[in-house]
Chain A
Amino acid sequence: MTPPRKKKMNLKQRYALMTRGLDWETSYQKMDDVFPYDTFEGIKITDWSKWEDPFRLTMDAYWKYQGEKERKLYAVLDSFAQNNGQLGISDARYVNAIKLFLTGVTPLEYQAHRHFSHLGRHIRGVGPRVAAQMQSLDELRHAQTQIHTISHYNKYFDGFAEFPHMHDRVWYLSVPKSFFDDACSAGPFEFFTAISFAFEYVLTNLLFVPFMSGAAYNGDLATVTFGFSAQSDEARHMTLGIEVIKFMLEQHPDNLPIVQKWVDKWFWRGHKVLGLVAMMMDYMLPKRIMSWKEAWEIYFTEAGGALFEDLSRYGLRVPKYADIATDEAEHISHQNWAIFYQYTQAAGFHTWIPGDDELDWLSEKYPNTFDKYYRPRFEMWREMEAKGERFYNNALPQLCQTCQIPMGYTEPGDPTKIGFRSSVYKDERYHFCSDGCKDIFDDEPEKFSQAWLPVHQIFQGNCGGADLSDVLKWYHMDQGIDNMDYNGSPDQKQWDAWQAARKKVAG
């Protein structure tokens, strides 16, 4: 027997052999026919082999680690359900943040899964293609683990049961839906820039780190477990995001202006969508750990600052309007909560006026703005409520053509004046909430003029009828159960009954 002469390969060499060699230059069909979508955007790639794989996971390692994470996660979910974990949360108002999560975020995870499959098939380089395939799997994981986590809440609380139906129809859910539709209808490199870089790398920490930590603080062991477990995949996604950007910028100088335009666009789109998370953090967590503004400072100003400083060697600059977005971090959660409070009759979760201690917390966290602009309004609404004159806005709002959020945002530097912009395209006038949204439209008017704007659709009679009750029926929202204030809701009655029973049991 000849003595074994093992050549020890390191991780990089091994991964390269196991993965890189798999593809080939097709000859029976043209490469451009096999990969028809990765050139039309104008991104020039001269050498796909220059792609660096940040994490070198082979499929067996992927199964091993992901399987282990899943075993742990589902053990927590089983125990949460068996022990009626919903009784241990800080307050039932908290559950409304989870409603927004399931109806607004989970369907996006699914969309991300499908479109990473698109990239996993259609990107020419084998390195990014494998990374996209794994991300497609991960995103499906996130959609399904979120559903499985929230499944238990659905059994005890309203507002969850119709989440896919609502996502395709409800007015405020068209904000996240159109965001993702925008990315999926773009070319593959724009999608990478939009989702892997602008969203996953620059912005997603804002959703998954402080919000999930907040879930832990509010006693929701199930949500924090799926949240952090999902984040462990996110670290891989972030490395993909930064790698894509560097790769495009290193491949050809002509790519820089295209990439910069996308970074500008998707930073602004992401900032607007995350306004919903801002509201979840500042208003919907009964026990708060960090304000939206603080989170913005840590995760955008600091982390994003270091990132863009690093990328400046390629000529990439900080996204356009980053300063305005940072300024808006002082306002966005308050303005969004005010919008939902006014339109609570058409929302699939409950609203409320924060209690005194909560208003005090907001005053402390937002010393520049809260007492001056927002606290008086909430206090006035509270007084009206006490007098039996709870304020409802019964006029349908005008929506921004780009971000689709009702036009309630104020001018940069003047929080007393609502911002309005407009553009004319093919003899039609389109309206926007901000310069950022107007710029995006002006660059792609043919695309953004197609938007399925919920308010327009209601007026055109495409949403079940002209009355609110017709529209709610069409949304599959039960009047007085899924919508309206937390006070007086079936959720509240049940929670109070549980609390009373606990007191009694505890003696």
Chain B
Amino acid sequence: MAGMVSITLQNNDEARPVIESILHDNPNANANYMPGAVKIDCPERLVVKAESVSERIGRDWDPQEIHLTIVSMGGSLDEDDEELVLSWGA
């Protein structure tokens, strides 16, 4: 419970590869599905890797594309060309 970070994404076709990548790259992440959206919680730190998403969609995925599907988040965010990181204490 302490230091849980989260990201909520729309549950649609566009977000699906992002959701899959997150669940793959963050073994401790837990997905909660609700109508239209999915809330992914993870202790301490959650990473969205551009490379993982790119592999799944067969083209380069820009981390800024997260803006198209993100619904909410908890934690402090840092973004660069390779990944988005949510954490506390940054």
Which among B2, B8, B34, B67 is the interface contact of A309 at CB below 8 angstroms?
B2
Bound Cα distance A431, B34 (Å): 42
B68 touches A69 (CB 8 A): yes
User: Which residues of A lie under 8 Å from residue B72 when comparing CB positions?
Assistant: 205, 208-209, 231, 234-235, 238
User: Which residues of B lie under 8 Å from residue A231 when comparing CB positions?
Assistant: 8, 70-72
Q: Which segment, of B22-30, B52-60, B78-86, faces chain A?
A: B78-86
Bound Cα distance A310, B89 (Å): 6
A232 touches B89 (CB 8 A): no
**Given A235-B72, A242-B76, A305-B1, A57 and B64 touching (CB < 8 A)?**
yes
CB B59 to nearest CB in A, in angstroms, measures 15
CB A74 to nearest CB in B, in angstroms, measures 15
B74 touches A11 (CB 8 A): no
Bound Cα distance A235, B39 (Å): 13
A306 touches B36 (CB 8 A): no
User: Which residues of A lie under 8 Å from residue B8 when comparing CB positions?
Assistant: 209, 231
Which among A69, A213, A214, A313 is the interface contact of B89 at CB below 8 angstroms?
A313
**Chain B residue at smallest Cβ distance from A204:** B72
**Chain A residue at smallest Cβ distance from B80:** A11
B10 touches A65 (CB 8 A): no
User: Which residues of B lie under 8 Å from residue A214 when comparing CB positions?
Assistant: 35
B36 touches A212 (CB 8 A): yes
User: Which residues of B lie under 8 Å from residue A50 when comparing CB positions?
Assistant: none
A228 touches B36 (CB 8 A): yes
Best-surrounded residue of A61, A205, A302, A310 (most CB of chain B within 10 A): A310
14 CB contacts below 8 A, A to B, read A11-B80, A54-B76, A55-B67, A65-B68, A205-B72, A224-B36, A234-B71, A235-B73, A289-B34, A302-B4, A303-B6, A303-B74, A306-B1, A306-B2
Could you tell me which B residues sit within 8 Å of A by CB distance?
1-6, 8, 10, 34-37, 39, 64-65, 67-81, 88-89
User: With contacts A231-B8, A232-B70, A310-B89 known, what are 14 further pairs, Cβ within 8 A?
Assistant: A54-B76, A55-B77, A69-B68, A208-B71, A209-B72, A212-B36, A216-B36, A217-B35, A224-B36, A231-B70, A231-B72, A232-B10, A242-B76, A306-B2
